[in-house]
Amino acid sequence: EADIYQTPRYLVIGTGKKITLECSQTMGHDKMYWYQQDPGMELHLIHYSYGVNSTEKGDLSSESTVSRIRTEHFPLTLESARPSHTSQYLCASSQDPGTGHGYTFGSGTRLTVV
Amino acid sequence: GEDVEQSLFLSVREGDSSVINCTYTDSSSTYLYWYKQEPGAGLQLLTYIFSNMDMKQDQRLTVLLNKKDKHLSLRIADTQTGDSAIYFCAERAAGNKLTFGGGTRVLVKP
């Protein structure tokens, strides 16, 4: 079944560790996105990609980096995690414009940095 | 720039209708969306409306769009406890990026 997967669902790590949050989709979507979600609900776009080897920073400045080597895979990396990185991270993908389909979201990764 | 606003919270009794409101600023919006987020989960697309429509009904959900006032609403008929969640409206304007509102937390009381 076509879907979008995020791993891990939950992660608790110590300050200074390097981590990679995984996001994969099986729908063949060119466009993928990473959002950081506050405890207060608001979504902040931190990275997006419109295709292989294309990545852009989003509206919210983030110390994380992303890569897009394969269409289906859009990992997010924090080189040195800090408590301020504690948040929910949501990955999404979308088809081309011109259709009614919006974004398809993964289930999210809840990151806690201690 | 694009801006999407929603009220923060809505409380409703089980069986009543819920109405969640949203305003947006970009007049070039092509599609507008409603997403639902349950605790600990990602966002799930509920419904969407094309900008040349003013109403769309899908089972218990009714979307109303007032393009002149840039106002979007989602009505949930016969609200159930399973409808308790956070609801996000979003607009798609130029390009493919969606702009999301801040979310409305809906609490359904038995």
pLDDT by residue for chain B (110 residues), tens only, comes to 568 999 999 999 999 999 999 999 888 888 899 999 998 889 999 999 998 899 999 999 999 999 999 999 999 999 999 999 999 999 987 666 888 999 999 999 99
- Burial of residue A106, with CB atoms counted within 10 A of its CB: 0-12 exposed, 13-18 middle, 19 or more buried: buried
* pLDDT score at A60: 86
pLDDT score at A5: 96
Amino acid at A3: D
Query: Quick check: B89 and B101 in contact, CB under 8 A?
Result: yes
Contact residues, chain A, for B56 at CB < 8 Å: none
CB contact under 8 A, B40 and A106: no
What do you get for the CA distance between the two ends of chain B, in Å? 41
Gap between the Cα atoms of B38 and B67, Å rounded: 29
Confidence label for A1 from pLDDT (cuts 50, 70 and 90): low
**Residue A89 confidence class, pLDDT cut points 50, 70, 90:** very high
**What is the C-alpha to C-alpha distance for residues A71 and A29, in angstroms, rounded to an integer?**
7
pLDDT band at A96 (very low <50, low <70, confident <90, very high): low
Q: What is the overall mean pLDDT for chain A?
A: 92
Contacts 24+ apart (CB under 8 A), A13-16: A13/A81, A13/A111, A13/A112, A13/A113, A13/A114, A14/A81, A14/A113, A14/A114, A15/A81, A15/A82, A15/A83, A15/A113, A15/A114, A16/A80, A16/A81, A16/A82
Considering only CB atoms, which chain A residues are within 8 Å of B103? 41-43
Interface of B with A in 71-110 (CB under 8 A): 86, 88, 90, 92, 95-98, 100, 102-103, 105
Question: For residue B106, what pLDDT is reported?
Answer: 97
Model confidence at A101: pLDDT above 80: no
Nearest chain A CA: its distance from B9 CA (Å): 11
Comparing CA positions, the residue from B34, B21, B30, B35 lying closest to residue B2 is: B30
Question: Looking at per-residue confidence, does B93 or A54 come out higher?
Answer: A54
Which range has the worst mean pLDDT, A2-16, A90-104, B25-39, B80-94? A90-104
Task: Give the pLDDT band (50/70/90) at residue A38.
Answer: confident
Nearest Cβ partner of B102 from A42, A106, A110? A42
| pLDDT in the model for residue A23 | 98
Question: Between A59 and A34, whose confidence is greater?
Answer: A34
- In this prediction, residue B92 carries a pLDDT of 87
